[in-house]
Amino acid sequence: MNTASEYSSFEKERLVSLLVERDHEIDKLHHLLIQARKNLFGKKSEKLSSANQTELFSFAAPAVEEEASSEAAVIEVPSHTRKVRKKRELPGDIERERIEYDIPDPRCPCCQKEMPVIGEETSEELEFIPAQFKVLEHVRFKRACGTCKNGVYTPTLPPEVKPLERRAAGAGLVAQILVSKYQDHQPLYRQEQIFARHGITIPRRLMCGWVEGAVELLMPLYEELKKELLQESYLQADETGLKVQDPEVKGKLHQGYLWGMLSPSNKVLFHYAESRAGEVPRELFKDFRGAIQTDAYAGYNKVYIPDRCRRVACLAHIRRKFIESEASAKAKSGKILGLIAELYKLERKFKDDPPEERMRRRKKKSFPIFKKLYRLLRALKKETLPQAAFQKALSYAYDQRYAMLAVLRDGRFEIDNNLIENQMRPVALGRKNYLFAGSHDGAKRAAVIYSLLGTCKLNGVNPFNWLRDVLRRVHSKGTTAAELLPQRWKHGSKKA
């Protein structure tokens, strides 16, 4: 009797454990299904709508019965002023062509005298003239003395002419190809089609050679940019994937990575590596001394040696985890997202403050919210099942509490690393168009161009004008790579 009772008790415990495991698996699959549906059909923005934010904190108001009234309700509408639509002015620096019109017969219908012009009405029409190709013939006169017969003298071409040695592409054409591919996301095969519409054939293989030659010229600028970034005391870092054609197996793609670093002083750099292993950032940041703001990817851990540099966490990545787990724990995730929204609201107020003032205001206003947030995280961790998706979001946030609170100790630090993530967008848009890089060397060249064009964008520099000017001047004597970088070219160089 006792044996049967013990056996049934054992069976009961086993069945209960199986049910618990099944519930965990169902929760996990339910979360994955919701995420898959959101990725396919949901909005990509992580911004909470005002309606959703209200639902997180508001309580349902009791229903109020409307009193029946036989009288018609009177609704008062406050007066308002209609906004006057301003006429959009066309830029004044665009070339203008004046076309004049007059009446067919300028004579007065009464006295037949010619009527003088008493004024004019002008209307503007913005027209587009397609780009045109032009061949520049650089003619060098040969001279020789018929009496002395001491040889033939031929002038050398200036260094700004034909920057790519033994190639006929001008600086403007090369700049257009680079900007079109790496900023406007036009693959070379599409550019080949565009050029064909203008009546000229430029095979993409030829353009590949021009890109390679241009990167060779720009490599000293890239190395100088990297050197200056590693001398900063605060960087933001992130990485993104880039598929590369495998040189050994035709048709097979290799998953490479572009590692990015950004300085708030308007400099960004990308480094291509064939893997995402921790050795890559360890080598990339080996000469860096300061603070790096990243997500919690374990590959960065080898960088953070106490006497070399310290890590600052990213609140946007923390927030993203709770947005992903919101479906399985809506009320609890909503409380956390509400506190994070308060922190971001304060950050918008502190945005233009000097670092010292921003640090002071963060300690006074943001620190109490951080305390409330981490107390809530600690309490929720204790009552959430270990395998739940919400528990993973809780652990991700709680384990980074010290790295996140670093923003309270230094006003230079941003609350997230969205600045570097914004610089990743051209890469993401570009790979949707060209799909993959043709080789590892091609991916390295892409990293160089993305770095320099990204720095142009951060400094408000026209990338085409900068590239065309730099490709012409890079051979000039007395010009250093540091002087040609976009952040200095904007202020100290003559724009082309």
pLDDT 10s per residue in the chain (496 long)?
A: 455 555 577 677 777 777 767 776 676 676 667 666 666 655 655 665 544 444 444 434 444 444 444 444 555 656 666 666 666 777 777 888 899 988 899 899 998 899 998 889 888 888 888 888 888 888 888 888 888 888 888 988 887 787 887 778 888 999 999 999 999 999 999 999 999 998 899 999 999 999 999 999 999 999 999 999 999 999 999 999 999 988 777 778 889 999 999 998 899 999 999 988 888 888 889 889 899 999 888 777 767 665 678 889 999 999 998 888 877 788 888 899 999 999 999 999 998 899 999 999 999 999 999 999 999 999 998 888 777 888 888 999 999 999 899 999 999 999 999 999 999 988 888 888 888 888 899 999 999 999 999 999 999 999 999 999 999 888 887 788 999 999 998 654 544 4
pLDDT score for 77: 57
pLDDT score for 313: 92
Q: Is residue 78 part of a domain?
A: no
Q: Which domain holds residue 332?
A: 315-415
pLDDT score for 57: 42
Nearest 5°: CA angle at 48, between 47 and 53?
A: 160
Paired tokens of 242 = 């880039």
Paired tokens of 162 = 């034909």
The phi and psi torsions of 273 (rounded to 5 degrees) equal -140, 150
Tokens 């950050």: give the residue. Answer: 347
| Residues 426, 455: Cα–Cα separation, whole Å | 12
Nearest 5°: CA angle at 298, between 295 and 304?
A: 80
| Residues 115, 103: Cα–Cα separation, whole Å | 11
| Residues 422, 148: Cα–Cα separation, whole Å | 68
**Who's near 46: CB < 8 A, 6+ residues apart?**
316, 319, 320, 323
Identify which of 442, 444, 441, 468 has the alpha carbon closest to the alpha carbon of residue 456: 468
Q: Is residue 319 part of a domain?
A: yes
| Residues 374, 108: Cα–Cα separation, whole Å | 87
Q: Which amino acid is at 282?
A: R
Q: What is the DSSP letter of 274?
A: S
Asked if 390 and 304 count as a contact pair (C-beta separation under 8 A), the reply is no
Q: Is residue 361 part of a domain?
A: yes
The phi and psi torsions of 336 (rounded to 5 degrees) equal -65, -45
Q: Is residue 46 part of a domain?
A: no
For residue 124, how many other CB atoms are within 10 A of its CB?
Answer: 10
Asked if 317 and 416 count as a contact pair (C-beta separation under 8 A), the reply is yes
Q: Is residue 392 part of a domain?
A: yes
Q: What is the DSSP letter of 362?
A: I
* Total domains present in the chain: 1
| Residues 300, 260: Cα–Cα separation, whole Å | 13
Phi/psi region, residue 162 (left: phi>0; alpha: psi -120 to 50; beta: rest), is left
Q: Is residue 387 part of a domain?
A: yes
Predicted TM-score (pTM) of this structure: 0.78
Asked if 162 and 213 count as a contact pair (C-beta separation under 8 A), the reply is no
Paired tokens of 427 = 């890469």
Paired tokens of 188 = 């070379």
The phi and psi torsions of 240 (rounded to 5 degrees) equal -145, 150
pLDDT score for 39: 63
Q: For residues 480, 484, 487 and 489, what is the CA-based torsion angle, rounded to 10 degrees?
A: 120
The secondary structure of 139-170 as a DSSP string is: ----EE-TTT---EE-PPPPTTSSSSTT----
| Residues 253, 162: Cα–Cα separation, whole Å | 36
Q: Which amino acid is at 88?
A: R
Paired tokens of 164 = 């790519």
pLDDT score for 73: 53
Paired tokens of 7 = 């056996």
Kindly give the interhelix angle for 171-182 and 440-458, rounded to the nearest 10 degrees: 90
Asked if 319 and 46 count as a contact pair (C-beta separation under 8 A), the reply is yes
What is the Rg, in whole angstroms, of the alpha carbon atoms belonging to the chain? 32
> Please, how many CA atoms are within 13 Å of residue 88, restricted to the half-sphere of its CB?
3
